[in-house]
Amino acid sequence: MNPRLKSIIGGSTGNLVEWYDWYAYSAFTLYFAPHFFPAEDRTAQLLSAAAVFAVGFIMRPIGAWIMGVYADRNAKRDGDQHLDVELPIPRDRRARLGGGFG
């Protein structure tokens, strides 16, 4: 397979998975917002969940820029190893925080 085509397919697959993650978050916001945000006001719950969504959406390109600069200045392998260590941390924190799901 042509290396260029392989890169395009790999990048497109990764992008598809990431956009699916954003879609799933936004689609199920109505269901998990009451578990994480104050129950007094339904509007505040949804706005808080939307704010979390917005912060993540804004931070994505900023993080890509920071890691791109880091990988360009050091080595691509150093950037990959750095991400391999850092990426599981927020997922682990989300799993440990819970929110009434289990």
Q: How many domains does the chain have?
A: 1
- What does the pLDDT read at residue 25? 82
Could you tell me the pTM of the whole model? Answer: 0.56
80: in domain: yes
Higher pLDDT, 42 or 101: 42
27: in domain: yes
- What does the pLDDT read at residue 99? 52
35: in domain: yes
Express each pLDDT in 59-100 by its tens digit.
888 988 888 888 788 877 777 777 777 777 777 776 777 654
Rounded CA separation 19/26 (Å): 11
102: in domain: no
Express each pLDDT in 3-25 by its tens digit.
899 888 988 888 888 888 888 88
For 51, the domain range is: 3-97
